[in-house]
Structure 1
Amino acid sequence: MNNSRRTFIRSASAIVAGAGLVSALPSSLRAMAPSDRLNIAAIGINGMGWNDLNAILKNPAARCVALCDVDKNVLDKRVAELTQRGYAVKAYSDYRRLLEDKDIDAVVIGTPDHWHCLQMTDAVSAGKDVYVEKPLGNSIAEIKAMVAAQERTKRVVQVGQWQRSQKHFQDAVAFVHSGKLGQVRLVKAWAYMGWMHSIPKQPDGTPPPGVDYKTWLGPAETRPFNPNRFHFNFRWYWDYAGGLMTDWGVHLLDYALLGMKAANPTSVMAAGGKFAYPDDAAETPDTLTTVYQFDGFNIQWEHATGIDGGPYGRDHGIAFIGNNGTLVLDRGGWEVIPEKGKMEAVPRQLSVDNGLDLHAVNFLEVIKSRKLEDLHTPVQAGAHVATIAQLGNIAYKTGKKLNWDGDKNRFDDSDANKLLAAQYHNGYKLPKSS
């Protein structure tokens, strides 16, 4: 686990202990009888899937009844941990068998990105509600199919963009919407990841004992097993994910879009590459600048690995740059830096809650109420920012400035349009979007 995630999870436990969270639960969840508790299962439990599940299990309204992972070492470890905590847990290596269990109400999907689409669409088709990790899908075609599946089945689907559940993020956006910053012409979002170092090349080899590598590959192209592509580092390979753009970008660009009430950009262009570690094992760019043009303003994304000194002295954040002042927002808080003589400064407003825990509460409450409009990150919201991130990666891959038609989900460039859909392999088929 990287330092940023480790710090977040550690602080999560400190900020919202179980008892404190229970007192904050809606009455509809606190009053649930043991026989009415929601039966939760999790698919992919090595990283954020495990963290998501544990955030859900802080609520007495939920209990874990099943786990699934293609790495038996991880699966056995997690089953043992939950058994010690008093849960009777079934173990599966095939998520499709798990979905056949009629007693399961909802599933957490924490697998690598290239599996999200198949597992989410299968889960809602099986009548399960879903908490799916971000990014929603690994291609624009997958994203479209996932939205169609949710709208067809009407299941609850919460996307793991937990910042939408945090008060200080909401307060910052409300300040932007107040108009006090004046005209906002540029929004910057960035992730400077000093903890990310070069990934040394390693030879192909044999999967570790207990790992069903064929199933792990799923719809991705068949390749020999390489430890660099497995577990956490899958993020830096195009077969399975989209690099920092889809890892951190969907979190931060989401709030850039919310602050500007932005729909679809008219164009996108991107430039970057493997400038820091040109010869290491990763495929995705370690340095990238992407510019999205909207009517009347631009949103700029940038990331750099091996560097912590990002804009405004922060390793990540969003800056709304207005004529009167600039609001700078990150996971720790927000502040306003005024233009001289145009407005008053707003000192840093610190984060006071835990987004992941609150996101879990919101998910459970909507499962109970069936009021889909109350979800903090419904599938449509996750689809919006995931599509924006994919646009940036496609612009990078083509090296062109691309015009985008959001209504038709098409570029004006044939090379770019070829990248709208991920290529499925090994007998898997992309779910239909209509």
Structure 2
Amino acid sequence: MKNTRRNFIRTSAAFTAAVGMGSAMPSAFSMINRPERKIRIGAIGIKGMGWSDLNAVLKHPGTECTALCDVDRNVLDMREKELAERGIKVKRYTDYRELLASDKVDAVVIGTPDHWHCLQMIDACAAGKDVYVEKPLGNSITECEAMVGAARKYNRIVQVGQWQRSQKHFRDAVAFVHSGKLGSIRLVKAWAYQGWMKSIPVKPDGPVPEGVDYDRWLGPAEKRPFNPNRFHFEFRWFWDYAGGLMTDWGVHMLDYALLGMKAGRPKSVMASGGKFAYPDDAAETPDTLTTVFEFDGFNIQWEHANGIDGGPYRRNHGVAFIGNQGTLVLNRDGWEVIPEKERMEAVPLQPRTDNGLELHAANFIEAIRARDSSLLHCPVEAGADIAIFSQMGNIAYRTGKKIYWDPSAKRFNDPRADQLITAPYHNGYSIPEV
């Protein structure tokens, strides 16, 4: 590639020196604390959730969008037009590093494919920007650890897009679990049964679509011919860029399993599954998977299945805390308690009452105004914890073994599993040392 990360480090160093950005905190941020000063937002990756995140942020009256970035000029044209129809004029970029160099951007929304999150978040922090980054935080254990280090080093506000943490009914459900009323909890189930997910038909490689900077889209991923199955939304089902449903939905549901149990790293992980629904389609990640995370005194179980909606408790996604007295079932619609025989009172469905994404975006802006990461509902450390946890599940699946985690050495007991701790980088890119 013509422009590697090393080139950016050199140019951004000069930029930092010129305008006083980086860990020294630019004078512009004293302006952010003035209530009359709007926080200027730039968005990187704006086709899917990045666009939804940006619009949620812009619902806050103290914000304005000043910049858009995407490697697909067709997407840029579409989003620029939509903003113009709302009276919003923006500067457009195809290289996110140029957006980060702008003094008209205070904070960024990152909605790119998973394999780009790490570099873009760290570069944004180094450029003095606050960050709202989509989940999963990183595409490997090593990436997540580096991202936590960068947020701390550069003293940035970093919110991870696990917006359920901002919803009242999720917090209420966890409070009930912590009350002890369910009795001893020996098993927590989390799941995603995705009936809408159909088979991805095999397609031949082809020409790069007009207007797409494919080399920049690949970034640190392995160089491959363009294939439409690997582009835009479908990238999720290929190991080069993401981790399938385990990291797409698992980070949401398993996050609440960990919160409810006040759990950290598991002692061991084992997983079994495969491409059972669509064995001959184009996807690489498993369409059917069961994973067991072992802790002292309880287990957390993850399961997912593509193409069917018949999940546990007649819900296509959720978390169930199974206690001796009763079971609390929670998902995006609400929560309820199903008693174990006559051991406790049932709690009828407590429905959702708010918009989690909008509340999460507002929480991000609140933390920026206060310059206080402790206000965040999903700070970078929390995003890293659940992304690492989900990555462990994928590593167990890919090795086909029950693997054990050594918390002091931060390694597994298996050489193949250790190789998967770090995602390989290509094309002159490398994970920054922070």
Q: Same fold (TM over 0.5)?
A: yes
Partner of 2:382: 381
Partner of 1:92: 93
Across the two proteins, how many residue pairs are aligned to each other? 403
Answer yes or no: is the 8 Å Cα contact 1:30–1:60 preserved in 2.
no
SS across alignment from 2:159: strand
1:92–1:135 distance in 2 versus 1, CA, 3 Å? same
Cα distance in 2 between the residues matched to 1:216 and 1:368: 33
Cα distance in 2 between the residues matched to 1:407 and 1:74: 45
Give the share of equivalent positions with the same residue, in percent: 70
Runs of at least 4 residues off by over 4 Å: none
The one-letter amino acid paired with 1:138 is N
Cα distance in 2 between the residues matched to 1:101 and 1:61: 19
Partner of 2:278: 277
Gaps of 5+ in 1: 1-28
Partner of 2:27: none
TM-superposed CA distance for 1:409, in Å, is 1.9
Partner of 1:6: none
SS across alignment from 2:233: helix
The one-letter amino acid paired with 1:343 is M
TM-score (norm 1): 0.92
1:351 paired to 2:352: yes
Partner of 1:23: none
SS across alignment from 1:45: coil
User: Residues 184-222 of structure 1, C-alpha deviation per residue, up to 9 Å, x if partnerless?
Assistant: 000000000000010000000001100000100000000
Partner of 2:288: 287
Instruction: Trace 1:127-206 onto structure 2 (pairs within 5 A).
Output: 127-206=128-207
The one-letter amino acid paired with 1:292 is F
The one-letter amino acid paired with 1:230 is F
Answer yes or no: is the 8 Å Cα contact 2:273–2:286 preserved in 1.
yes
SS across alignment from 2:294: strand
Cα distance in 2 between the residues matched to 1:121 and 1:136: 11
User: Residues 313-349 of structure 1, C-alpha deviation per residue, up to 9 Å, x if partnerless?
Assistant: 0000000000000000000000000001110000000
TM-score (norm 2): 0.92
Partner of 2:308: 307
SS across alignment from 2:142: helix
TM-superposed CA distance for 1:31, in Å, is 9.1
1:30–1:308 distance in 2 versus 1, CA, 3 Å? farther
The one-letter amino acid paired with 2:100 is L
Cα distance in 2 between the residues matched to 1:137 and 1:219: 13
TM-superposed CA distance for 1:408, in Å, is 2.8
SS across alignment from 2:177: helix
TM-superposed CA distance for 1:32, in Å, is 2.9
Partner of 1:81: 82
TM-superposed CA distance for 1:88, in Å, is 1.7
Cα distance in 2 between the residues matched to 1:317 and 1:30: 39
Instruction: Trace 1:24-43 onto structure 2 (pairs within 5 A).
Output: 32-33=35-36, 36-43=37-44
TM-superposed CA distance for 1:60, in Å, is 1.0
Partner of 1:250: 251
Answer yes or no: is the 8 Å Cα contact 2:68–2:76 preserved in 1.
yes
Instruction: Trace 1:1-40 onto structure 2 (pairs within 5 A).
Output: 32-33=35-36, 36-40=37-41
Cα distance in 1 between the residues matched to 2:407 and 2:42: 35
SS across alignment from 1:188: strand
Answer yes or no: is the 8 Å Cα contact 2:157–2:367 preserved in 1.
yes
TM-superposed CA distance for 1:149, in Å, is 0.4
